[in-house]
Amino acid sequence: MMSYSSRFCLVLFMSICGVIYSASPNEDQWRDRITQLPGQPMNVGFAQYSGYVNVNSGRALFYWLVEAPVSRGPRSRPLVLWLNGGPGCSSIAYGASEEIGPFHIRPDGKSLYLNPYAWNNLANILFLDSPAGVGFSYANKTSDLYTFGDQRTAEDAYTFLVNWFERFPQYKYREFYIAGESYAGHYVPQMAQIVHQKNKGIKNPVINFKGFMVGNAVTDDYHDYVGTFEYWWTHGLVSDSTYKMLRTACDFGSSLHPSVQCMQALKVAVDEQGNIDPYSIYTQPCNNTASLRRGLKGRYPWMSRAYDPCTERYSDLYFNRPEVQKALHANVTGIPYAWKACSDIVGNYWTDSPLSMLPIYHELINASLQIWVYSGDTDAVVPVTATRYSIDALKLPTITNWYPWYDNGKVGGWSQVYKGLTLVTVRGAGHEVPLHRPRQAFILFRSFLENKVMPSQS
């Protein structure tokens, strides 16, 4: 048990380091408190925590909590859980380190710089590496390492959340949201469904769940196929004949486990597209894009890779440093492999993947939860056309017709408000919207939290 004087000294030390404690701690919180990350700018003014939460006797998930700055009143701010997809990609590598987190990694892989559009300026952000086997999250049992799938991932994430709230009781009853992108288009609504169902009949649930937001999200395999192939063709990425071949060869069944004929057609499409960045078709790829082409598998041949392979290398350098792992309270069991932004094992051994999230959308829309779907319109992996086809399949009444939204007098994208769902596109953004258009993504997030329509020109 830490004495009062010891705690006073620790708080004093944290204040000197530029981090002010903002909540009543318990022993687990003291253990998880980050005092200073290697290469971190000084005087950041917000608290950080990271560590492990057990979800099963053999599985533990790694988290990183970044609170809102003390000057912005973290106790009055909501809690947002962020999930990246893959399957098998780390929320620490992508969401935290190159998208919405407070720090981005410099090319030297040693130092960090502040992100002026960090989402923790508006909310307390909780990043989770999920499932076990991704990033610093681990599984001790061999059987757990080769049985990945949607159902267990969602259940483990819910168990994590319940146990995490016991460690951080000050967040109980706080407004809570879930957000994510890409294959988290499965994780987010699946976890939202579990939270909603567990909360039924409880007057004041501990998890005060308000809604969710997903970006460039894998949603419905049939409409994702149709919308993706159409995007490739209409944006001049494939020939007429290949477009017709894709429409014929791909049986529009499972996108994660396609037929042999479909995979052959996809390979032809990849060859025709050439050396472009499919995550952002109008920007230059890194000078070595070989990693983008490894492991062609299914409807999402690049899903296991990040937008910028060069940025991914910065994460690989930084999070493999022993002093970084120590500061994060990570790799405490001595994981017998190097940290990677995306786990090939998780992606290659994925089992269950439902064909559609649309039934879950219907259930949660009927529950009057707040649901926003956004899409960067230069992404060829899960393009805006796929998202629009999926939303159209919900057959929702329109409240506000398609309109442009603005940022400083310039069109930031377009939006349409349906009964129970808001769609927002972000102009010129690729697969990871906050990476390509950080300011516009920040405006989007603020509008979501306030549940207000995107800003008009006036």
Alpha-carbon 443 to chain mean position:
17
Are 63 and 164 spatial neighbours (Cβ–Cβ below 8 Å)? Answer: yes
- The H-assigned helical ranges of 235-338 are 240-249, 260-273, 290-293, 309-319, 322-327
- C-alpha span between 138 and 23 (Å, rounded): 29
- C-alpha span between 33 and 29 (Å, rounded): 6
Cis peptide before 131 (omega within 30 of 0): yes
- C-alpha span between 374 and 387 (Å, rounded): 9
* Cβ atoms within 10 Å, residue 16: 11
Cis peptide before 87 (omega within 30 of 0): yes
Report, as residue numbers or ranges, the catalytic residues: 182, 379, 431
- C-alpha span between 187 and 181 (Å, rounded): 9
Which pair of structure tokens corresponds to residue 134? Answer: 């991704």
Which pair of structure tokens corresponds to residue 137? Answer: 């999250």
- C-alpha span between 130 and 397 (Å, rounded): 35
Rounded to 5°, angle at Cα 183 from 393 and 253: 55
Are 165 and 172 spatial neighbours (Cβ–Cβ below 8 Å)? Answer: yes
